[in-house]
Amino acid sequence: MSKLFISCDEATTICDKNQYGEASLYDKLRLNLHFLRCKICRMYTKQNTLLTKIFGGYAEEQCAKNRCLTTEDKKKLESEFQKKLK
Amino acid sequence: MSVITKHTLSPEKWVQSYSDYLYNYTITRVNNDDLAKDLVQETFFAGLKSMKNFQGKASERTWLISILKRKIIDHYRKINSTKGKAEVRMNFYKDGENEGQWIEERAPNSWASDADKNIENTELKHTLEDCIDHLPEKYSMVFKMKTIQGFETEEICKELDITASNLWVIIHRARTQLRRCMEDNWFNN
């Protein structure tokens, strides 16, 4: 089992993982222990949670976009491809 | 008695039938319009070249996707080689007695107390987009697959042939860099 006391680098890695709900219980325990003695990482976590919200809003917007090739793109692709077919 | 249909290939219809599907598949992974178009074109060309290897077990579309998947892994390997490595700025001491601690000038600064207002703001989204675009390609690719497209960790690892711990290190580096970029260009601007 990996160590109980972790560095800021490791703590913030766990914090990032936790933003996706994928940190283990042991990870969360280590993270909270780290918070007891590190104000900066506590702040990082708070900011990170806000960023996750912002990323989420952006993601929704992106996924709503219908991503297709334009007719022009297809024509270009078709003509390149026809050359190869011959 | 069962009849097994053998699939056949009709390359003259590929562009019309599959280019949108392949493009869509690619853009959610590489998130770069020109690159996605190139990969789709390369897939069609490669398909044409290896038509004789098609056994008819899978549908034409599935077969083309399997070729495209190889192309995406190849691309990822290329950006994962030496080039991408030096670009990311370090936020933590790599060795010495401070190993793993924040480098002072890279540590987070506090944000205004109303930082969480207006997070649906369009300008903010533009700033975020710029920040993502400034990530090294390897980081932005993995970050977007995980965060924007919402792929499962396991799926990304399989598709890009990386380990889970590898993935989290990349996500961590991408997010610390994005945090910093958003701090400089939005929150404390």
B45 shares its domain with B123: no
Minimal C-alpha gap between A31 and chain B (Å) = 14
pTM, two decimal places? 0.84
Residue A17: list chain B partners with CB under 8 A.
Answer: 168, 171-172
**What CATH number does residue B141 fall under?**
1.10.10.10
Distance CA B33, CA A30 (A): 41
Asked whether residue B4 is domain-assigned, the answer is no
**Number of compact structural domains in chain B:** 2
Question: What pLDDT is attached to residue B113?
Answer: 83
Helices (H) and strands (E) in chain B, counts: 7, 0
Same domain, B72 and B132: no
B33-48 pLDDT, tens per residue? Answer: 899 999 999 999 999 9
Q: What is the CATH number of the domain that holds B24?
A: 1.10.1740.10
Mutate to test the interface with A, among B168, B178, B188 (most CBs of A within 10 A): B168
- Amino acid in the structure at residue B159: E
Q: How far apart are CA B166 and CA B179, in angstroms?
A: 20
CA dihedral B78, B79, B85, B90 (to 10 degrees): -160
Q: Which residues of A touch B (CB under 8 A)?
A: 6-10, 12-13, 16-17, 19-20, 22, 40, 43-44, 47-48, 50-51, 53-55, 57-59, 61-63, 67-69, 73-74, 77-78, 80-81, 84-85
Within a domain: B99: yes
Is 0.95 exceeded by the ipTM?
no
Same-domain status, B102 and B155: yes
Domain stop point among B31, B48, B77: B77
Q: What domain range is B46 assigned to?
A: 11-77
Which residue do the tokens 């540590």 mark? B107
Res B137: pLDDT: 87
Distance CA B58, CA B63 (A): 6
Min Cα distance A29 → chain B (Å) is: 18
Say if CB A19 and CB B150 are below 8 A apart.
Answer: no
- The segments of chain B whose pLDDT lies below 50 read none
